[in-house]
Amino acid sequence: MHILRRKIYFLLQGAINRFYLARTSQLPPPSVERALVLFTITFNSPLVIELQAQLLKRFCNDDYTQIVCDNSTDAVHRNSIRSICSRYDIQFIALPPNPWTGIHPSMSHGLALNWLVRHVAPLFPAHTYGFLDHDIFPIQEFSIIETLGTHSFYGIPQVRKHLFYLWPGLLFIEGRILRETTLNFCPNRHGDTGVELHKIIKKCRNETLLASHTDILDESRTQYGMQRPLCTKHDDVWIHIGNASGWRPKDISDLSTLELVRCQSNLPLLDAPISKIKC
């Protein structure tokens, strides 16, 4: 009976996902080819996407276009994010209502990524594509084109049940790969969002460049148990704030998140102090 229930569940899951991927949204006209196209999936967090936009404009040395694909459920937040995108000359795309929001966050994220690579990426030809969570920020100058070099992939390594893949919250892929391959970012029973990338990563292992990982902030207890670390730095360029994705405890605010990133990127601090920052 248990096996039968699992089969029914996965059949329903597949049908729901296919229905979502067939949905449309208001899309911009096709763009000219750029060196770098960056996709950011946002979810009810206007403050962090504004800081990310500021820091990308300050530190990215590549000819890039940023496209914000909004997975928000709150209309006020969505309108705020839309206004921020307009202010910073960023393409804003409202994703269709996600069937997994509030039920399966990892599936919601993965399905949103699958939708954008099928519907949005073809409109924006690029030498390299980047996928960013809204809570990851550059803190010094960088060039993804130079970093990637002759590699096809660059990102943060993940291993789940001996499956090796790259985390899709900081992931850069050669444009040719995206054009020739239908990528699947959805989780499965073996791992989280992006685990299905292990199939193509395995084929291109020698073409994959791995980012380093450094913990820079102490652990924090959340509703999902002890999250450690709360904050990580990668290749001394990127900082990931783990509490900006909706699960943070009540005593950690968006303001403290912004202050930490500002500290790391040598921007002026905000008014409210945050403890434990290692600048």
The predicted model gives 13-17 an average pLDDT of: 89
| Mean pLDDT, residues 105-110 taken together | 93
- Side chain identity, residue 118: R
**Residue reference for tokens 């959340």:** 222
Where is pLDDT greater, at 98 or 246? 98
Average pLDDT, stretch 126-152?
Answer: 95
What is the pLDDT, as a whole number, of residue 73? 92
Does residue 223 carry a pLDDT above 60? no
According to DSSP, the residues that pair with 38 across neighbouring strands are 66, 130
CA neighbor of 245 nearest in space, from 223, 217, 264: 223
CA 2 to chain centre: 34
Average pLDDT over residues 244-263: 55
Q: Does the pLDDT value for residue 130 go beyond 90?
A: yes
The full set of domains in the chain, from first to last, is: 32-212 (3.90.550.10)
pLDDT for 4: 75
The answer, yes or no, to whether residue 132 has pLDDT greater than 80, is yes
Task: Measure Cα distances from 229 to 58, 149, 221, 250, 265 in Å.
Answer: 27, 30, 10, 17, 19
Average pLDDT over residues 19-23: 91
> How many CA atoms are closer than 13 Å to the CA of 21, on its beta-carbon side?
20
Q: What mean pLDDT do residues 93-112 have?
A: 93
Burial level of 153, CB count in 10 A (0-12/13-18/19+)?
A: buried
Average pLDDT over residues 216-225: 49
pLDDT on residue 232 = 84
Tell which wins on pLDDT, 224 or 145: 145
Measured CA to CA, the distance from residue 37 to residue 128 in angstroms comes to: 7
Q: What's the mean per-residue pLDDT of the chain? A: 84
Please report the pLDDT score of residue 162 as a whole number.
86
- State pLDDT tens for residues 49-64: 999 999 999 999 999 9
Looking at residue 262, what is its pLDDT? 66
Helix (H) or strand (E) holding 47: helix 46-59
32 has a pLDDT exceeding 50 = yes
Encode pLDDT of 67-92 as tens digits.
999 999 999 999 999 999 999 999 99
Q: Rounded CA gap, 9 and 249, in Å?
A: 31
Q: Return the DSSP state at 46.
A: H
At residue 30 the predicted structure's pLDDT band, cuts being 50, 70 and 90, is confident
Residues 6+ apart with CB under 8 A from 32: 125
CB 191 within 8 A of CB 107: no
pLDDT at position 3 is 78
- Which pLDDT value is given to residue 264? 67
Distance CA 133, CA 256 (A): 18
State the DSSP code for 247: -
Of residues 258 and 35, more confidence is placed in: 35
Burial 55-87 (b: 16+ CB within 10 A, else e): bbeebbebebbbbbbbbbeeeebbebbbebbee
Distances from the Cα of 80 to the Cα of 92, 94, 95, 243, 270, angstroms: 11, 12, 15, 20, 20
Query: Which single residue is written with the structure tokens 């789940």?
Result: 160
Q: How many residues are given for the chain? A: 279
- Per-residue DSSP letter, 257: H
Q: For strands 208-210 and 153-160, give the pairing.
A: parallel
